Amino acid sequence: MAELTYREAVADGIRQEMKRDESVVFLGEDIAAAGGVFKTTVGLLDEFGPIRVRDTPISEQAILGAAMGAAMTGLRPIAEIMFSDFLAVCWDIVANQMAKARYMTNGQISVPLVVRTANGGGSRFGAQHSQSVENWAMAIPGIKVVAPSSPADVKGLLAAAIRDDNPVLFFEQKSLYAVKGTVPDGEHIEELGKSKVIRQGSDVTIVALALMVPRALEAAERLQEIDGISATVVDVRSLVPLDTSTILSEVSRTGRMITVEENPRLCGWGAELSSIVAEELFFDLDGPIIRITSPHIPLASADHLEDMMIPSVDRIYEEIRKSMS
């Protein structure tokens, strides 16, 4: 097992798949010579050369247009959109072209394309560079949506996304880039559409994604130590496909569900999950479903305001403790 940071795991996952398959190419702003603005792609240009690892102009439409064309004609491109906020600039290509091409051609055209992007807050980049937009993507049929919380999952899920024949939006939480974790040696691949139970408890099920996973886990440990509340923590990992089987099983067992979401409250992924649980498990629930989210306002750049808006360990702990009382 290797000890890698979240950012190193990005490069490791790309490297694994580029070595394995010569049709995998990589393009984006400053991803080659500079090694990425978040230093997630260091060394790839030296290893694979400028034909397969290409810097592009500052044009999100050009990046995704070129990547989609390459995917439709036999390559497996990885395209980087520097900040997930900038998907708004090229959303037509994502929502109307990538997502629909395979369906509208009855499978004659595949779009095996991964769009990597730095997502979420916590880095003091302000309202235009800190949004958590995975719920945008989740609303579009035809796109797979992945958001890992650990270095091992970054590598394994990224590899799976690259091998998939459908377009995948791969959200990397930028505040996790420095986090270290063990990553299996050799080829490592995880299954898309499979959540992971990372802590087993008996009283309540906490469902979280990306940055909220380590915060939910820390809050769960505090609940156990201080209040004797035993919490299960489920890492969703993939919003599309959504592993409802694992989540429903854990919620049915504990009788309570708390979702912890970085995205704004209105139309967050937890709202959809709450609807599914209410339909499927109404008579198994021992209390109301609780959603812990960011408020439905643009994210502040002031550090103390940003910290107040994004669910913290303290807030997760207090809200769950209150709901359990």
Catalytic residues: 129
Q: Are the C-beta atoms of 289 and 273 separated by less than 8 Å? A: no
Distance, in Å, from the CA atom of 236 to the CA atom of 47, rounded to the nearest integer, reads 33
Identify which of 172, 177, 178 has the alpha carbon closest to the alpha carbon of residue 148: 172
What is the three-class DSSP state of 97? helix
Q: Are the C-beta atoms of 210 and 119 separated by less than 8 Å? A: yes
Beta-carbon contacts of residue 17 (< 8 Å; ≥ 6 apart)? 24, 76, 158, 159, 162, 163
Where are any strands of DSSP class E within 127-268?
Answer: 144-146, 168-173, 180-183, 196-199, 204-208, 231-235, 238-240, 257-264
